[in-house]
Chains A and B, each alone.
Chain A
Amino acid sequence: MAERSGDAPGPGTAETASLASGEAGSRRIRGAGNYLALLPFFLYVGLFLILPTLIIAIGAFTTIKGEPTLDNVSRLFTDSVVVETFIKSIQLAVLTAIGGAIFGGLLAWAVVSGNPNGLLRQLVIAASGVLAQFGGVMLAFAFLATFGFNGLVTIFLRDIVHVGLLTDASWLYSLTGLAVVYTYFQIPLMLIVFLPSLDGVRQEWYDASASLGGSSWSFWRHVGGPILAPSFLGALLLLFTNAFSAYATAAALISQGASIVTLEIAGALQSEVVPGQENFGKALALGMIVIVAFVMLLYALIQRRASRWVR
């Protein structure tokens, strides 16, 4: 598939096009012109994506006056509060990625084994798109309406069932609460990412396994499982970065006492005027980039392997 459109425009095509348009310029000049047409795109991405990244990378290693320093970056490793923050963020991301991957994976399986053109499938996919991407602040409010001090479930348990469970809603405003809400948006993201891979498992493989006397279990154990493993792992990494870089939900739920990296960065950004703090936000940001870039690199490697079977 990749080759079909990638290889089609060979030199022959360029020739025809230039003949048709009656160009007389030399091949080399035309070649340079071809690249020049991509200039607006490169300029734009350079200005709004590469330049900000450079500002972070350079800022993290300089003082506000522009002198080189390692103070900001070394704080990432020496300041125990900062280290703790990174650890908490990573724990939160790992935990919710695993939870989201398991429940989302199961949901994806349940949806895939249904009617491929059915209403359930369409609704679940569209709803997942909304919940996985659109969420943030609104999902935090959804959970306040559910488990907050006056939330539906809280009131139900307290006034109707009379169980002393979850009555103290302050757990929602802590890391536990964050984990619950994060898992909530990880599930639909998992569904979206994992569904195409599940679709790639062919009925023929299942039939082949069955005709050799394999049970449903042995099919998943020896065929389906190993084929899906790279996709599952890739999705897990994607979920990790998603939770690790999430900010909106945390900002809406946790108003004080920043305890995860994204909140810490927001705090640093707002207190940049404090002497000695100026470029610390950039160091934190650099730390995030390094972690996410590493995970995404793993993801790319795994993805290459996963794509072998999912055609």
Chain B
Amino acid sequence: MTASPGFELSAAAPEGGALVARPKGAGRRRRGSRLQLVARIAILIVVLGYLILPLFAMLEFSTRGPFGSRTLDSYGAILKNQNVIDGVTTSLQIAVLTVIGMLVLLVPTMVWTVIRVPRMRQVVEFLCLLPLAIPAIVIVVGIAPIYRWMGQHLGVVGASPLTLAFINIILVLPFAYRAIDSSLRSIDSATLADAARSLGAGWPRTIVQVIAPNIRGGILSAAVLAIALVLGEFTISSLLAFNTLQVVIFTLGQQDPFVSVAVSFAALVFAFVLLIAITRFAGGRDRRTQVEVEEPAT
């Protein structure tokens, strides 16, 4: 799918950094009428039912055995399929490179705009959010000539699927920016930097050892979003003819629908578990930060 503002938008909630936007008053449950309760339950059943049905169907479909029996053969076949293993490996490598590249590019730049050149903050923000206005399929059209050039002039490195990290970093910018920005806003980075520098730390050390640990929640969310984006990225890798996970799943769909549905289901579950884990982890972190930072203000 294309770069779409997703669940990090909840990170843009005023609380700053928490992946799960929590409402202001914790016990703010609206005491509604009986009618409201019925409506609420009806909506939950119908809409959630619609969301769950295809997922359940995937599970059912991928466990079909001969003569109506159930089997996990399709899942076993995943591990024996070299293409799938290669696709997963490639995508994971791209994910690692994307996360590292994104953090190296974004964190110092954002910290710097906050501390030294606040005037540039809006420019950086605009550039970071720009990929939202340029669909992935459009980026492919413009970037294909650049990748063709890299493939011809940069040898093995230029032709490697790992070069997809370059473009994935761009795709992840809007989400990463929002996640890191909301963390950065919840701390007084200027004072922190002053303190660190007056104790003799250089800028690299200030950013890595003083600022970064304080925006851990945002960095973590950004990293998870980047991983999810890379593992789910199809448009660009398929049109540039690189065999990433999604491209492999796509191709597999035409050969063995049962295995391809099994891989899809496994990937969705994996992403879900990843997000749950990170929501709990990041949520817990930021709750602490938030109390420290916001209590003096009230």
Contact = CB atoms under 8 A, between A and B. Distances in A.
Contacts of A245: 2, 4, 135-138
Contacts of B288: none
Contacts of A117: 22, 26
Contacts of B166: 48
A34 to B, nearest CB: 5
Contacts of A4: 185
A40 B61 contact: no
Nearest to B64: A150
A53 interface: yes
B4 A145 contact: no
Interface string B158-183: 00000000110110010000000000
Interface in A108-125: 109-117, 120-125
Interface in A1-56: 1-2, 4-9, 13-14, 16-17, 20-21, 34-35, 37-38, 40-42, 44-45, 47-49, 51-56
Contact of B138 (A35, A37, A56, A152): A56
A116 B43 contact: no
Contacts of A196: 9-10, 12-13, 21
A193 B12 CA distance: 10
A269 B239 contact: yes
A120 B22 CA distance: 13
Interface stretch (A68-76, A77-85, A247-255): A247-255
Contact of B253 (A109, A137, A282): A137
Given A13-B115, A124-B48, A126-B275, A56 B141 contact: yes
Contact of B142 (A56, A107, A110, A270): A56
Contact of A146 (B43, B54, B144, B280): B54
A129 B6 contact: yes
B285 to A, nearest CB: 16
A1 B276 contact: no
Contacts of A252: 250, 253
A139 interface: yes
Given A133-B7, A289-B138, A48 B115 contact: no
Contacts of A185: 1
B184 to A, nearest CB: 7
A5 B188 contact: yes
Interface residues of A, number: 117
Given A53-B142, A203-B25, A37 B112 contact: yes
Contacts, number: 354
A34 B118 CA distance: 10
Contacts of A179: none
A112 B143 CA distance: 42
A131 B51 contact: yes
A48 B246 contact: no
B232 A135 contact: yes
B121 A188 contact: no
B208 to A, nearest CB: 15
Interface of A: 1-2, 4-9, 13-14, 16-17, 20-21, 34-35, 37-38, 40-42, 44-45, 47-49, 51-56, 103-104, 106-107, 109-117, 120-139, 141-146, 150-153, 184-185, 187-189, 192-193, 195-196, 199-200, 202-203, 206, 216, 238, 241-242, 244-249, 251-252, 262, 265-266, 269-270, 281-282, 284-285, 288-289, 292-293, 296, 310-311
List the 9 closest pairs (A to B, CB-CB), nearest first: A52-B142, A245-B135, A129-B7, A145-B61, A138-B264, A146-B57, A142-B54, A152-B57, A133-B6
14 contacts: A2-B185, A16-B194, A16-B198, A35-B120, A110-B41, A116-B26, A125-B10, A141-B249, A141-B257, A144-B253, A146-B57, A193-B9, A245-B2, A245-B136
